[in-house]
Structure 1
């Protein structure tokens, strides 16, 4: 058999109908061999009786008998092939869950390498061999292994789905294209496949872009958290240091107050103790004189009494104590002076803190330019968009929705919808002005109310020296000096808007716990000219002293 195995090939033992090794092989009158069941089923449905190989037609259905020689050879070949498959199956991978199994394997199913769209079956390496070697099977369409091959067959015509209908967006067979879809735009699946594949490539690229954007956003968020942690640690350290100084200052002031009171009390006690000691000495002296006088008064010796009378009857050498007093000390003003000294220390510390805070917020400086489309027609803007003042002539400008038509105001071109920003405005030489930030949706027509409820967070100067914050209600501001340059700081997420006297490094006012849900724009109003008394411009100044 080994010699026969060397001379005979697998093709000689395959039924051309089932494409498998013969089972009960029979020979037709023309000399071709088939499985008995295969040729019988073929002739059951195909008349006239014709050989599937050479197409010879028989007048009547041939009587088929088993070809014992081919049957024995096929059995031996099948056994040999089974042994070879068994030895090679150890090298092939067994089908795992989720993998397509070979449809021909019996018992242990091996992993399929290809699926045939003609045979509607999937084959492992061994059972795929005929499709790679036999000329008739080489023409079959192979593809990567897939399950549910029946789903690739038209249910209506039992034909392969190999066309695509663009009108109905569905896969169809050849018969569908000439019946139900004959007027539709139908073309091979490959064309639609290439188009859809290109779309998938584009979609995949977009998804990869979105993935990358989200990864970058994650990194950004992580960096923000890390920065927030660093800021929190820095603020904590600074806060601990400041409050430690405060506590030390308070404790030192308290100790000095207590020492001052105790020192005064000690001096009072020492003075009283000195008086008491002196009085006790005088009492002893007087008691001695009294005893001598009593003895002398009872004396019967006339000479002795007369001789000592002058000495003992004279006034004793003692002090007059009528005006001598120890007044209880008054401590009025002691605590006040101590607190006043503490307040002075705190004031100096606050100045240092505000100066440090101002330097930090100045790191958020933005470069602003005024937006001419929002400016009131009577305002005059500089060419570079950094200065604004009130003019006496109303210019003929388009009344666009963004423009203020009653209040002499203007917005910056730049806006903020997240994060922090800072800018400085020179107000030197002005008698009136308004500064701050506003919501994008504020009313810009007619009379305007500058309140947070209406989207305005501003402070103002009136009558040369009256400062006010337009809160709800408004707050009169008591400033130690007139600011010549005002800094404005906004923290969008924190809901904070702070105004600073830049030169004095002092906080003017803060709006806190604000809720921002739209863009914020810097707001400027130089107020009216007042016949030249308020002609100085508001000037957006660059921050040049950041360290």
Structure 2
């Protein structure tokens, strides 16, 4: 069947009224209407009556389905033409299912499938129309001024133009074929898409990083919770045990007192019984008329009965003084052991953030002596002639080369043999050319030793520290985001002091001040030590 003949039928005549698609195995029922064989069979399977879906005619029995060969051929021909896909230009004339356009007409400003293109190929008046490869939105593809196809691109004005525009408004402009500019812009879009994909990948990696941080945080939280539960459980058990022991001690003292009193009372009651018996005998004898009997019995009855001298006998209430205090002291010892265990675990965790530091000679005061490896510093007797660069301290201080503006870091400094020192972290912008008050508001978070045994935290106001032992190695831990700076006695696994609630907005530098040599007593250096992890 020719394409011209197929144009005599509307497109809807190729569509099944049930599924709205081109017929598949079309059949005709007695009323004359056509359906896909499967569609009408399923329709009747679901309904009690065999009724035509279009005209509603009811059939007494289920009709025999006969293939409509004419519709089959027409549907087969129609199906040979491709249905328009999303990226393809559809036919402007097709109704219902849009077929793929083969050509676009620059005169009619419409696109046509094979069937609807037939008139432009056969009619003399339409044959003169200019046909091009299918273009979507033809009206937008035409020059409004010259009614010509926009097939060039003006790079000067960054706009699409037609061939006539190049000899008028855009005569001296840089004009290139539309395809050339298209390829260039497509390459740019490819580059842009690659950049976008890279940005997407970075953000996916950031999501993974954040998720990993949350997992680590949960692990830390679970571990901290477990440690806390363990400590408080042990403390609770210790309190309950100490309370039970205290109550038992008090009860035992009271039991002994009651037992002693019961013994005395029993003994006194026995003596009272004996005395009552003697009293009865004396009274009976005093009433006797027998002179001889009274005289013979008088000596034995008149003598004092064998009793105990109770004058000095007392029951003293037990002394409970110090009982509670001793129980609390014992509890304190238990708590101290638990705290030491806790600090040991804490120190072990913060040591995982250990960093390798070296001293920065460009920041060192001229009186300071730095070792060649940048790990030791002490005060000398001679002032070196060094350039007064902006980084260098006026006072006897030095910073590390390394700085930190996020995360956590930890390092250890040996202070053994020194009578004075100052350690901690400082912000980058501190005044290095004058004498400063070493306090957080001035950018210093440090602790110090003065006069051999005076330890203090350079807070505002300053805090005097009472330490149980003299630290020989000090650990410094910083959590930038948490705003925390903690100092540890490494050997004792004990917390010395913590600055909390700090607000860090700049780079932080580890800070070292060995103090002057104090007539040789403080000549030992401060030494940045490798971290030996706490067991």
Which TM-score bucket, shorter chain as reference? 0.7 to 0.9
Aligned-pair CA distance for 1:244: 0.8
Aligned counterpart, 1:280:
269
| Secondary structure of the corresponding residue to residue 478 of structure 2 | strand
Aligned-pair CA distance for 1:270: 0.4
Structure 2 residue 511 is the aligned partner of structure 1 residue 517:
no
Q: 1:118 to 1:472 in 2, by over 3 A?
A: same
Aligned-pair CA distance for 1:99: 7.5
Structure 2 residue 189 is the aligned partner of structure 1 residue 200:
yes
Question: How many angstroms apart in 2 are the aligned matches of 1:201 and 1:137?
Answer: 40
Could you list the per-position Cα deviations for residues 44-63 of structure 1 after superposition, in whole angstroms to 9, with x for gaps in the alignment? Answer: xxxxxxxxxxxxxxxxxxxx
Aligned counterpart, 2:233:
244
Structure 2 residue 161 is the aligned partner of structure 1 residue 172:
yes
Aligned counterpart, 2:434:
446
Aligned counterpart, 2:318:
329
Q: 1:166 to 1:382 in 2, by over 3 A?
A: farther
Task: Identify which of 122, 127, 132 aligns with 2:111.
Answer: 122
Aligned counterpart, 1:545:
533
Aligned-pair CA distance for 1:140: 5.5
Question: How many angstroms apart in 2 are the aligned matches of 1:89 and 1:221?
Answer: 57
Could you list the per-position Cα deviations for residues 380-421 of structure 1 after superposition, in whole angstroms to 9, with x for gaps in the alignment? Answer: 2222222222233443444333332x2222222222222211
Could you list the per-position Cα deviations for residues 125-182 of structure 1 after superposition, in whole angstroms to 9, with x for gaps in the alignment? Answer: 555689999xx99995525x53x22112222222222222222222222222222222
Aligned counterpart, 1:152:
141
Task: Identify which of 385, 410, 413 aligns with 2:398.
Answer: 410
| Secondary structure of the corresponding residue to residue 459 of structure 1 | strand
Aligned counterpart, 1:41:
none
Task: Identify which of 210, 218, 221 aligns with 1:229.
Answer: 218
Do 2:363 and 2:391's aligned partners in 1 also have CA atoms closer than 8 Å? yes
Aligned-pair CA distance for 1:242: 1.3
Do 2:424 and 2:512's aligned partners in 1 also have CA atoms closer than 8 Å? yes
| Secondary structure of the corresponding residue to residue 497 of structure 2 | strand
| Secondary structure of the corresponding residue to residue 413 of structure 1 | coil
Q: 1:137 to 1:398 in 2, by over 3 A?
A: farther
Aligned counterpart, 2:518:
530
| Secondary structure of the corresponding residue to residue 96 of structure 2 | coil
More deviation, 435-444/287-296: 435-444
Aligned counterpart, 1:220:
209
Do 1:85 and 1:126's aligned partners in 2 also have CA atoms closer than 8 Å? no
Aligned counterpart, 1:142:
133
Could you list the per-position Cα deviations for residues 469-489 of structure 1 after superposition, in whole angstroms to 9, with x for gaps in the alignment? Answer: 111211100111211110011
Q: 1:84 to 1:472 in 2, by over 3 A?
A: farther
Question: How many angstroms apart in 2 are the aligned matches of 1:306 and 1:124?
Answer: 162
Question: How many angstroms apart in 1 are the aligned matches of 2:121 and 2:194?
Answer: 37
Q: 1:125 to 1:389 in 2, by over 3 A?
A: farther
Structure 2 residue 390 is the aligned partner of structure 1 residue 430:
no
Query: Superposition pairs for residues 73-92 of structure 1, below 5 Å?
Result: 87-90=76-79
What count of residue pairs does the alignment treat as equivalent? 469
Could you list the per-position Cα deviations for residues 21-66 of structure 1 after superposition, in whole angstroms to 9, with x for gaps in the alignment? Answer: 9xxxxxxxxxxxxxxxxxxxxxxxxxxxxxxxxxxxxxxxxxxxxx
Aligned-pair CA distance for 1:111: 4.0
Unmatched 5+ residue regions in structure 1?
A: 14-19, 22-81
Aligned-pair CA distance for 1:90: 4.2
Question: How many angstroms apart in 2 are the aligned matches of 1:434 and 1:132?
Answer: 97
Q: 1:537 to 1:95 in 2, by over 3 A?
A: same
Structure 2 residue 338 is the aligned partner of structure 1 residue 318:
no
Query: Superposition pairs for residues 21-100 of structure 1, below 5 Å?
Result: 87-90=76-79, 100=89
Aligned counterpart, 1:475:
463
Q: 1:264 to 1:392 in 2, by over 3 A?
A: same
Structure 2 residue 488 is the aligned partner of structure 1 residue 500:
yes
Aligned-pair CA distance for 1:449: 2.0
Structure 2 residue 408 is the aligned partner of structure 1 residue 420:
yes
Aligned-pair CA distance for 1:287: 1.0
Could you list the per-position Cα deviations for residues 415-461 of structure 1 after superposition, in whole angstroms to 9, with x for gaps in the alignment? Answer: 22222111101111222211111222322221222111122111111
Q: 1:238 to 1:125 in 2, by over 3 A?
A: farther
Do 2:487 and 2:495's aligned partners in 1 also have CA atoms closer than 8 Å? yes
Q: Aligned-pair RMSD on alpha carbons?
A: 3.1
Q: 1:501 to 1:113 in 2, by over 3 A?
A: farther
More deviation, 408-417/247-256: 408-417
| Secondary structure of the corresponding residue to residue 343 of structure 1 | helix
Query: Superposition pairs for residues 108-119 of structure 1, below 5 Å?
Result: 108-113=96-101, 116=104, 118=106
Question: How many angstroms apart in 1 are the aligned matches of 2:346 and 2:506?
Answer: 27
Aligned counterpart, 1:295:
284
Q: 1:374 to 1:194 in 2, by over 3 A?
A: farther
Do 2:426 and 2:510's aligned partners in 1 also have CA atoms closer than 8 Å? yes
Question: How many angstroms apart in 1 are the aligned matches of 2:489 and 2:236?
Answer: 28
Q: 1:140 to 1:533 in 2, by over 3 A?
A: farther
Q: 1:153 to 1:285 in 2, by over 3 A?
A: same
Task: Identify which of 335, 341, 365 aligns with 1:376.
Answer: 365
Question: How many angstroms apart in 1 are the aligned matches of 2:121 and 2:250?
Answer: 112
Aligned-pair CA distance for 1:374: 2.5
Question: How many angstroms apart in 2 are the aligned matches of 1:128 and 1:393?
Answer: 102
Do 1:103 and 1:123's aligned partners in 2 also have CA atoms closer than 8 Å? yes
Task: Identify which of 483, 487, 490 aligns with 2:478.
Answer: 490
Could you list the per-position Cα deviations for residues 314-333 of structure 1 after superposition, in whole angstroms to 9, with x for gaps in the alignment? Answer: 01100010100001111001
